[in-house]
């Protein structure tokens, strides 16, 4: 293998998603003379644009899919190789791509992202959403669908059930409340009425630019219904590749085969028992199908609450698995319980000279008490950037400390058209019963939850235009004893910003 090396680069980064591209940018700016290669399976790369530091740890940015030439023009010492890594040989510091080329490296950073953790790989009626291709496939199938079942209770499910129109959506969640990865039951209750109301009209198009290509893209139960006539236009596409991100649904039309209504039926506290095709159902012993007729749908899904639903397809919005396979065989990577490549506080894996960042890795250093890993766009950027700095620091023999961004978990996003800010241990993660909650809620306007432990603020969920994020971030970081303030902390008549000035 060593003899076949076409070229040895000082740095190779694998993956053209946010983590990989940010790592390349950091390395190329810090050591402009170094030969850097970006090897990516996707035809386009993802770059961060309009980066804005909202507060000490909160950040917002747009994401653009761009041709890789943009990056090569910016960094003359960068070579972008569009191929997938087939195998890695850490002993000889080399890797082979699917087009049969072999490259050597001095330092490598793996930013291969993740893929959907599907309920089943085998069933063609079970879709996952990850990249633009899978989003287009969803759009295509949805345009002919009358009913779909969405399984999962995290980010994708929350976005999808709110956006899909013209098609009945059965939403099956394991928990007692919606959005378990981001919220508690109180926040879920605040958000639920949004499923019954119309989506607000958008007078400005989505500000995040995206690609268009030549080929236009074609327990208990509750039911929520909303009408809406306006349609959005758009299309976007890439080959297999990087994860979608903020506002991904704005570039495609999530419209079923019927006109203008959002109809979501929630099935709480249930999982999937079995998924059948029509033929399987006919050939197997009779099932409890309720009002469903065998043969009227291409696929049927039986839930653990005993109900079976026929539908056009199932969306498995059930999380992410790190993309580690091509890197493992013949090497000694330590893997975390979630399947990610273990990295230390310098983003180093267990193999010499191999770093990892983004969805593919699992942060295995001793975390700050207020930080946890979630596979998010912001963390992919932060890890890619920090990995680049660590790689540069090592070759330059400079010391480097864990970056401040890993002090406090912070995330800004949007669900059901509300701004959502999550800080620290926003769901009391890892605190057991050793915490108390303060909650302020105004229906339809805002939901504010503060998590206190030992009198100190350790986390917060802010839904709506609360304008509290910076003050709360400071209170968490300062570890101030808030016992004397008690419930006054959330008194809406007190300007909390002035209070703590």
Ligand X SMILES: Cc1cc2nc3c(=O)[nH]c(=O)nc-3n(C[C@H](O)[C@H](O)[C@H](O)COP(=O)(O)OP(=O)(O)OC[C@H]3O[C@@H](n4cnc5c(N)ncnc54)[C@H](O)[C@@H]3O)c2cc1C
Closer CB to ligand NDP, 375 or 381, in the complex: 375
Binding mask 113-142 for ligand X (x = CB under 6 A): xx--------------xx------------
Q: How far is the CB of 51 from ligand X (least distance, A)?
A: 13
DSSP 115-162: EE--S-SS-TTEE---SHHHHHHHHHHHTT-SEEEEE--SHHHHHHHH
Residue 113 binding result from ligand NDP, ligand X, none, given CB thresholds of 5 to 8 Å by partner type: ligand X
Choosing from 31, 84, 108, 157, the residue that interacts with ligand NDP (CB under 6 A) is: 157
> Is 422 among the residues that bind ligand X (CB under 6 A)?
no
Q: What would the two tokens of residue 441 be?
A: 């809620």
Q: How many residues does the chain have?
A: 501
C-beta separation of 101 from 81 below 8 A: yes
Closer CB to ligand X, 85 or 272, in the complex: 85
Q: In what order do the strands lie in the sheet with 167-172?
A: 126-127, 313-316, 147-151, 167-172, 261-267, 221-227
Binding mask 411-450 for ligand NDP (x = CB under 6 A): --x-------------------------------------
Alpha carbon distance 208, 289 (integer Å)? 44
CA angle 259–262–268, rounded 5-degree value: 145
Q: What would the two tokens of residue 141 be?
A: 């199938």
> Is 388 among the residues that bind ligand X (CB under 6 A)?
no
Residue 112 binding result from ligand X, ligand NDP, none, given CB thresholds of 5 to 8 Å by partner type: ligand X
Residue with tokens 């056009």: 312
C-beta separation of 258 from 103 below 8 A: no
Going by C-alpha positions, the residue among 472, 435, 424, 466 that lies closest to residue 448 is 466
H or E, element range at 22:
helix 18-30
Going by C-alpha positions, the residue among 282, 249, 299 that lies closest to residue 122 is 299
Q: How far is the CB of 207 from ligand X (least distance, A)?
A: 14
> Is 112 among the residues that bind ligand NDP (CB under 6 A)?
no
| Interface stretch with ligand X, choices 13-21, 137-145, 275-283, 386-394 (CB under 6 A) | 13-21
Binding mask 142-181 for ligand X (x = CB under 6 A): -------------xx-------------------------
C-beta separation of 299 from 275 below 8 A: yes
Residue 323 binding result from ligand NDP, ligand X, none, given CB thresholds of 5 to 8 Å by partner type: ligand X
Residue 318 binding result from ligand X, ligand NDP, none, given CB thresholds of 5 to 8 Å by partner type: ligand NDP
Going by C-alpha positions, the residue among 211, 249, 241 that lies closest to residue 21 is 241
Closer CB to ligand NDP, 119 or 188, in the complex: 119
Direct distance between the N- and C-terminal alpha carbons of the chain, in angstroms, rounded to an integer: 63
> Is 251 among the residues that bind ligand NDP (CB under 6 A)?
no
Residues in the site for ligand NDP, rule: CB under 6 A?
119, 151-157, 159, 174, 180-181, 271-272, 317-320, 374-376, 413
Residues that bind ligand X (CB under 6 A): 14-20, 39-42, 84-85, 111-114, 129-130, 155-156, 241-246, 248, 323, 326, 358-359, 375-378, 380, 413
């Amino acid at each position: 293998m060593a003899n076949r090396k076409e070229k040895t680069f000082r740095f190779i980064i694998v993956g053209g998603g946010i983590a990989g591209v940010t790592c390349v940018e950091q390395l190329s700016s810090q050591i402009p003379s170094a030969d850097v290669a970006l090897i990516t399976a996707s035809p386009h790369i993802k770059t961060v644009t309009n980066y804005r530091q909202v507060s000490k740890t909160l950040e917002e940015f747009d994401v653009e899919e761009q041709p890789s030439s943009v990056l090569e023009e910016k960094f003359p010492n960068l070579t972008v190789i569009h191929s997938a890594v087939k195998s890695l040989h850490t002993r000889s510091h080399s890797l082979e791509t699917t087009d049969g080329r072999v490259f050597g490296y001095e330092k490598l950073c793996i930013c291969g992202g993740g893929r959907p953790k599907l309920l089943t790989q085998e069933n063609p009626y079970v879709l996952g959403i990850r990249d633009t291709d899978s989003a287009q496939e969803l759009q295509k199938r949805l345009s002919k669908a009358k009913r779909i079942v969405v399984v999962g209770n995290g980010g994708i499910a929350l976005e999808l059930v709110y956006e899909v129109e013209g098609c009945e959506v059965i939403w099956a969640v394991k928990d007692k409340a919606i959005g378990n990865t981001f919220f508690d039951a109180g926040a879920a209750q605040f958000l639920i009425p949004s499923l019954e109301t119309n989506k607000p009209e958008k007078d400005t198009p989505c500000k995040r630019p995206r690609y268009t290509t030549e080929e236009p893209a074609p327990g208990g139960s509750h039911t929520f219904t909303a009408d809406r006539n306006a349609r959005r236009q758009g299309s976007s596409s890439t080959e297999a590749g990087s994860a979608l991100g903020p506002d991904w649904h704005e570039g495609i039309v999530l419209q079923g085969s019927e006109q203008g209504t959002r109809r979501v039926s929630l099935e709480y506290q249930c999982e999937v028992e079995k998924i059948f095709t029509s033929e399987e159902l006919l050939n197997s012993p009779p099932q409890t199908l309720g009002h469903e007729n065998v043969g009227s749908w291409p696929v049927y899904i039986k839930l653990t609450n005993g109900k079976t639903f026929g539908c056009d397809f199932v969306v498995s919005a059930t999380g992410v698995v790190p993309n580690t396979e091509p890197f493992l065989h013949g090497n000694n990577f330590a893997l975390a319980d979630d399947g990610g490549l273990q990295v230390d506080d310098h983003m180093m894996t267990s193999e010499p000279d191999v770093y990892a960042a983004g969805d593919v890795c699992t942060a295995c250093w001793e975390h700050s008490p207020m930080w946890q890993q979630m596979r998010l766009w912001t963390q992919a950027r932060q890890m890619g950037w920090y990995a680049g700095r660590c790689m540069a620091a090592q070759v330059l023999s400079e010391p480097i400390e864990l970056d401040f961004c890993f002090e406090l978990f912070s995330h800004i996003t949007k669900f059901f058209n509300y701004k959502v800010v999550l800080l620290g241990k926003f769901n009391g993660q890892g605190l057991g019963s050793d915490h108390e909650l303060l909650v302020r809620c105004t229906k339809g306007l805002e939901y504010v939850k503060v998590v206190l432990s030992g009198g100190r603020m350790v986390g917060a969920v802010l839904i709506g235009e609360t304008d509290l994020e910076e003050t709360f971030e400071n209170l968490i970081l300062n570890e101030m004893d808030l016992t004397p303030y008690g419930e006054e902390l959330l008194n809406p008549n007190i300007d909390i910003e002035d209070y703590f000035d």
